[in-house]
Structure 1
Amino acid sequence: MQSDQAGSGRYQLKGAIGSPYSMKMRAALRYRRIPFDWEGGMAGFVAAQSMKAKVIPVLVTPEGDAFNDSTTLIALLEARHPGGRSLVPNDPALAFLSFLIEDFADEWLAKAMYAYRWARPVDQDQMSRWLVFDAFRGQGEAVIEEQARVWRDRQVGRLALVGAGPAAQPVIEASAGRVMVALEGQVVERGCLFGSRPSAADFALYGQLSQLATDPTPQTLMRAHYPWLFRWVQTTEDLSGEPEGQWDPGLDTPVLRALLVECATHYFPMLVANAAAVEAGQPMFRWHVEGVDLEQATNRYQARCLRALRKAHADLSSGDQARLGPLLAGTGCLAFLVAGVSKGVAA
């Protein structure tokens, strides 16, 4: 899509600091040292209205073309700016793991962000005001308070639709807790998932955690139980001055194994149930995890996520598939990735 900002010579990133995907992309652009201008507040929401999928952030290229969806944006920047400070490991097996964990953070860990933000009055009250302030600052307290009430009612009312209702909340928060336990040790010992260099997966995790580190309930939790991770979130906001770092060659590390177990236990079962519901034309779907029946609205985007993950695995060389096999099989992910897939084709 063409924007009226063609010829500026810089990228324009239009988003909001209350959006995990906006923060993901802002931090990624900073680390990659790609010149850009940040436009927060209302700018992102206005820009999103002209996009096919009305989501933020919106990235406008120097030529004036506009794109959104953070995974698409990272791939776009990799194609336009190959080489130095890439977010994709040069080992195809590691690159696949980065893609999988990025997707897990974007689609599953996002449920923790949503549940923590909108399930409890203390978070509902503060964050509805803060998020609306970002968009309506300068328009007076009466306007901000009224818009905050509207936004709070809307978001709380959507908890069940996005799969973060009362039954799901303890399951989601327990899963997020295990993710934070795994990351707490990793950020101290190596700094990032795959060594001392951040990947797309690191920035996807950062995006979700940037919100948990802001909202009252999860911020208190992080400060008390995951203090190194809390500080990692703050430092990862701007890594523009950090060295590029190194990828570690190891595939089977404790942090990767812990995250893949969460993928197999929670994320893949949801994706498979959702894909079946999409195919059947059902508006809602259910899946069973940890002794609990969970439910949410059918999501066509997440059906595409499952196809993309299966295709990415199928497109690996036989050697890279063999290298990943023990880790993916041992964590329970492999069965979900190979189900109904032939080489280069996602079922």
Structure 2
Amino acid sequence: MGHGEYVMWGTPHSLYAGKARSYLIKKGVPYREVIASDPEFLGQIIPQVGHMVIPVVRTPQGEVVQDTTDIIDRIEARTPTPDFTPPGPVQRVVAAFLDAFGSNYLLPLAMHYRWSYRDRQELFLRTEFARAIPRMPHAQRLEVAGQLMTKFAGFLPNLGVTEAVIPALEASYGELLAVLDAHFQAHPYLLGGRPSLADFGLMAPLYAHLARDPVPAFLMKTTAPSVFRWTERMNAPALVDTDYPDHADGAFPAGDALPETLEAVLAVAFAHWGPGILADAACFNRWVAGLDNPVPGTLVSHNGARQVHPHVGRISYPWRGVTMERASHPHSLWHLARAQALAAALDGTDAARLSALLERTGGAEVMAIATTRPIVRENNVLVLG
């Protein structure tokens, strides 16, 4: 282990590894990335985590940390500069909300554009998946990669991606790209002159799947080129553009202000994610009510198995003119609760300004979602608090 060095195990095509990698680059801490087929990772790190998942980071102190949110929290607490936490209380709520939105809502969209268009990007995907398969001739690795790809493509129905909803999914993504592109024409990052949790959360889906895979990358480059440029900016320690003379100081806006163009992004996020996360909360509350003995520490899982993205039942709800049917997603509720906790701590004029923002952007109902029991992370899984 290098002195003072972080180690991240992941793959180039991993959605969440893209989030952690971008953060490590922007933070400027020494790190090296190791492909997840590494024998040390499989033999020593995964047994500590308790289930197969990437990315995983080992700190210079030897701690093994899983989940991008925990990784960022850990490093932010130990490395104060550069500071990616906005100074304003409303800004912090917005950053935490967009982190949750990007990390959760856009997962099915990213998977759709990767697997629904597999036939148009087969060689690229096979080659990417083959990179994580060791000690085989290239042709054999491509063959094994194809088998892995079929497994991942099989996740689409559980994510709600079916032929009936694909037009609505793609329209939703188009609307999001449009407001993001308008924003990034004026600002280098979501909250202004420097990145925050909001950027890292959206980087998860918008880079590895949607900016690298050939079909969605073409869509992004030809319809939202400023979003694509942002993905490049997020993977560079410093990227000088002449587009942003007002952000030469690399700072967050003063006075807890938000860029005006960000309100359109928030409006899309609340409108498009709202129906699904409301259904997630209702399903979770029904699941808790049906437990015989829901003591703290009870695993959040429909079948008692440790999972990266557990569910507690299937849900069905109207969404953008179609019926969305998928497995519930308690992780969304856990992640949203981080933003809700920041919002609940506001008072006085700060609370009033957040309330006015939510009224303008249609976010009051989403931010008021409540679960009958808190969801916490312990030992790399979600459990009841």
Give the distance between the partners of 2:338 and 2:120, measured in 1 at CA: 34
Specify which of 271, 295, 300 is matched with residue 277 of structure 2. Answer: 271
Q: Could you tell me which residue of structure 2 aligns to residue 262 of structure 1?
A: 268
Aligned to 2:155: 158
- Residue identity matched to 1:76: R
> Distance between the aligned counterparts of 1:54 and 1:293, measured in 2?
32
The change in CA–CA distance for 1:61 and 1:96 in structure 2 (over 3 A counts) is same
Gaps of 5+ in 2: 241-247, 288-311, 377-384
Shift of 1:294: 0.2
Q: Deviations over 1:14-48 (max 9, x none)?
A: 11111122122112111111111221352497344
Superposition TM-score, scaled by structure 1 size: 0.88
Equivalent of 1:247 in 237, 249, 252 = 252
1:134-179 CA distances to partner (integer Å, 9 max, x unpaired)?
A: 2025521342232122122212211010222223322222222222
Report the AA paired with residue 146 of structure 2. R
Greater RCO structure (CA 8 Å; 6+ sep): 2
More helix by share: 1
* CA deviation after TM superposition for structure 1 residue 307, in Å: 3.3
**In structure 1, which of residues 281, 288, 291 is the aligned counterpart of residue 321 of structure 2?**
291
Superposition deviation, residue 244 in structure 1: 7.2
Residues 1:130 and 2:127 are matched in the alignment: yes
CA displacement, residues 221-263 of structure 1 (integer Å, 9 cap, x when unaligned): 1221122222222232112577871101464544322222222
1:10 aligns with 2:10: no
8 Å Cα contact 1:117-1:123 kept in structure 2: no
Choose which of 44, 69, 74 in structure 1 pairs with 2:67: 69
Give 1:141-290 correspondences, 5 Å limit.
Answer: 141-210=138-207, 211-240=209-238, 245-249=250-254, 251=257, 253-281=259-287, 283-290=313-320
Write the letter of the residue equivalent to 1:56.
I
Matched-pair contact (CA < 8 Å) for 2:133–2:145: no
Cα distance in structure 1, aligned partners of 2:24 and 2:258? 29
Q: Which aligned pairs between 1:306-325 and structure 2 lie closer than 5 A?
A: 306-325=336-355
Partners of 1:244 and 1:30 lie apart in 2 by 19
Could you tell me which amino acid in structure 1 is paired with residue 251 of structure 2?
A: Q
Q: Distance in 1 between matches of 2:236 and 2:204?
A: 12
Question: How many angstroms does 1:304 deviate by?
Answer: 1.9
> TM-score scaled to structure 2, two decimals?
0.80
CA contact (8 A) 1:48 1:56 kept: no
Contact kept in structure 1, 2:278 and 2:369, CA below 8 Å = no
Correspondences of 1:87-126 after superposition (within 5 Å): 87-123=84-120, 125-126=122-123
Q: Are the aligned partners of 2:12 and 2:18 in contact in 1 as well (CA < 8 Å)?
A: yes
Between the two proteins, the alignment pairs up a number of residues equal to 340
% identical equivalent positions? 27
2-structure distance, mates of 1:345, 1:300: 8
How far off is 1:295 after superposition?
1.3
Tell which deviates more after alignment, 322-331 or 35-44: 35-44
SS of the residue 1:222 aligns to:
helix
> Could you tell me how far 1:95 is from its partner in structure 2?
0.9
- Which 5+ residue runs of structure 1 have no aligned equivalent? none
| CA RMSD of superposed structures (Å) | 2.7
Query: CA offset at residue 309 of structure 1?
Result: 3.3
Corresponding residue SS for 1:287: strand
Residue type of the alignment partner of 1:245: G
